[in-house]
Amino acid sequence: MRILLTGKHGQVGFELQRALAPLGEVHAVDYAECDLADTAAVSALVRSVSPELIVNSAAYTAVDQAESEQQLAHAVNAVAPGVLGKEAAKLGAWVIHYSTDYVFDGAKQGAYREDDLTNPLSVYGRTKRDGETALEESGARYLIFRTSWVVGAHGSNFLKTILRLAVEREQLDVVADQYGAPTSAALLADVTAQLVRQWQREGNGLFPFGLYHLVAGGETTWCEYARFAVSKALAAGRSLKLEPDAIRGIPSSKYPTAAKRPTNSRLDTHKVRAEFSIDLPHWQTGVGYILQQILRES
């Protein structure tokens, strides 16, 4: 089986290289090898590799910068998934694509289901929503996974930022009115590989393609997430200036950003768990494991 993987140096792409390697020949590329903003290059890449499966983990993820780089964000997040889908359809291949909680406005009280109406608040969210639509309309078979608050041992993320600041500061203010589930890149990669194996067994006829929410179990706020990280790092013997109770929760209004974030990023995972009979561990399990990796490597 030949697999084309984009975004190999991203948090999810890095883990996907490991998880997908046993399943076939993985042709992994990054920006230097294929600029997803260049539709001709994207088409040429797919035709040259001629994959049976395309896994698109590449994205424009600079949420605030997207507000001033709308054209680039649109090209990578909204147009490229459709191009990948159209090329896949020509080959009889299928596509796995990752989307985001930012397609919602966060106004719902409970967890968002796959069939809830989208209403993104930011350029990033709109381009990711439009990328979903482009892939859905491409004619290719697909899995789209909406996820949230991705964290991994490889790459930059909130967890690493908190650990760095905990060495430098004795007090920290962190937003406490946005809710979601930190989801490890390893979990996303492992579930992806599990479902590819299922497809290999069942084939196109039986496999339940479609749109799914895929996040870790439980929920938290950015503030509680930061306190958890610092607490675990201290328990592991790391010398920090910052104590968990010195992390103060603040409202989003006190931390203005160029792009507006949804206050509720809870995603309902009943559909993916029921359809594929998978268990999704609590977010603390994944974050704890990644934290151990980061501490070992730093």
Residues with a catalytic annotation lie at 124
C-alpha to C-alpha distance for 171 and 168, rounded to whole angstroms: 9
Q: Which amino acid is at 36?
A: L
Residue given tokens 């964000």 in the structure block: 73
274 contacts: CB under 8 Å, gap ≥ 6: none
Burial of 145 (0-12, 13-18, 19+ CB in 10 A): buried
- Those residues whose C-beta lies under 8 Å from the C-beta of residue 52, and which sit 6 or more positions away, are 1, 2, 3, 24, 91, 92, 93, 94
Q: What angle do CA 212, 217, 223 make, to 5 degrees?
A: 115
Structure tokens at 64: 């605030």
Structure tokens at 24: 């076939």
Strands 220-221 and 247-250 come out as unpaired
Structure token digits, residue 50: 């001629």
Do the Cβ atoms of 220 and 145 come closer than 8 Å? Answer: no
